[in-house]
Amino acid sequence: MTTHDPLRVAFIGAGGRWGPSAHGPALQKLPEINLHAVCTAHADTAQAAADKYGVKKAYSDLKTMGADLQVEAALVAVRVPAHYKIANAAVEAGKHVYCEWPLGANTKEAEEMAALARKKNVRTMVGLQRRASPAYLYMRELIKDGYVGKVLSVNMTHMGSGVLTRTSDRTWQRDVTLGANTLTITFGHSMDALCMVAGELTEVAAVVSTQVPQWFETDTKKYVDVTSPDNIMLSGRLESGAVVSANLGVHPYHGSGYRFEIYGTEGTLMMIGGGEAGQEVRRKIMGGKKDDKALQELPVPDRLKTVPEEVRGLGPSYDVGQMWVNFANSIRSGAAIEPDFDHAVRRHRMLDAIVRASQTGQRQKVVL
C-alpha cells in the first residue's frame, strides 16, 4: 500500500482505444492513484466515460479541466497528432503530465514539449512502459551485476503480423508525418527497451522500408496509399563498444515473434516472447553462464513487481500500472523519474538518426 495520499488524475482520452484498455483498469485499481476526472472531445462521451469509471468530474474542455485545482496530474492518451496541443495545455495549467509515446508527431514537437515542462517545473512521464517492466528491469540488473561479463553482441528480432488490412478508423496511421507507425511505436518501444538493458546506441547503419505501399480498408472496401514504414533493420554499436543488430517487421501472416539476445564474455542472456504491448506475463528470461550445459529460465523476482496481483493479470495494465506507481511516488517524494519528456526527446533523436542512415545509405552518429 502507498504511504502517500493517492495522486488525483484526470484521464484525457477516456473514450479511445489504448487508454481504456491499458490505463483505465490500472487507474481504478492502484492504491497510489485516485481517478478524479475524465476528459473527452464531447460532453456526451465525457459523461459516458465518467459513468463508466464512476467519477464525478466529466470535462469536454481542456481549459475547464485545467482550472480544476483538485486535478494534480493529467494522462494524455489520445492520437499522437493531438499530443502536442493537449499535453502543453495541461502543462500550462500546472499539471504533472503522463503522455503516451511517441511524445510528439516529430522531434521538434517533442523538444518544445520537454522545454515547456522544464519551464513550468512539472513532473512528466512518457509511455515507454517497458522501463517499468519487471522482466526488463531484471535483465538490466543482471547485466549491471556482470551476469554475462563484458557485453560483446546484442541481437533483437521482432516479427509481427497484420499489415495488409485495417478498418478505416485505423488507416490514419498510414501517413508517416502523423508520427504513429511501426517505426515510432513498435520499433521505438523495442529499441528503448534494448537501450535500457544493454546501453545506448552510438552509431548506426539502417534500412527503413515500406514494403506494403497500400492497405485495404475492410469496411470501405478501398485501398489507401501508405508512406509509413513496416520494416526496419539496423546494425551498429552501443556505448559499451558492443555490436548490435535489430530487425523488426510487421508482415501479412504468421510473424515469428520476439527474441532479444545478449552475448558476453561470461555468459548469455535472452528474452523470448512478450514483444508486444501488454505481454509482461509472456516474457521469459533465459540465461546461461560459461560453464552451464544449457540455458535455464531465470524467474523475475517479486520485489520488482510493484502493482497488486489483480493488476498483473490485466494484460497491458501490468507494466502501465508499474509506470503509474513510479510516477505517483516520484511526484509525492520528489525523486527523479524515468522516462520523462527529456528522455522522450532523446528517443526521438535516435529514431531520426536511424532514418537518416537509411535515407543517406551512410552510417550515422547518434547524438542524444
Domains of the chain: 7-122+321-337 (3.40.50.720), 131-305+347-365 (3.30.360.10)
Cell numbers placing 234? 539496423
Residue spans of the chain under pLDDT 50: 1-2
- The reported pLDDT for the residue numbered 3 is 57
- Residues 129-162: tens digit of each pLDDT: 999 999 999 999 999 999 999 999 999 999 998 7
Classify burial at 154, counting beta carbons within 10 Å of its beta carbon; exposed 0-12, middle 13-18, buried 19 or more.
buried
Global pTM? 0.95
- Find all residues with CB under 8 Å of 315, minimum gap 6, and list them: 21, 22, 278, 279
Mark 232-264 as b/e (b = at least 16 C-beta within 10 Å). Answer: bbbbbbbebebebebbbbbbeeebebbebbbbb
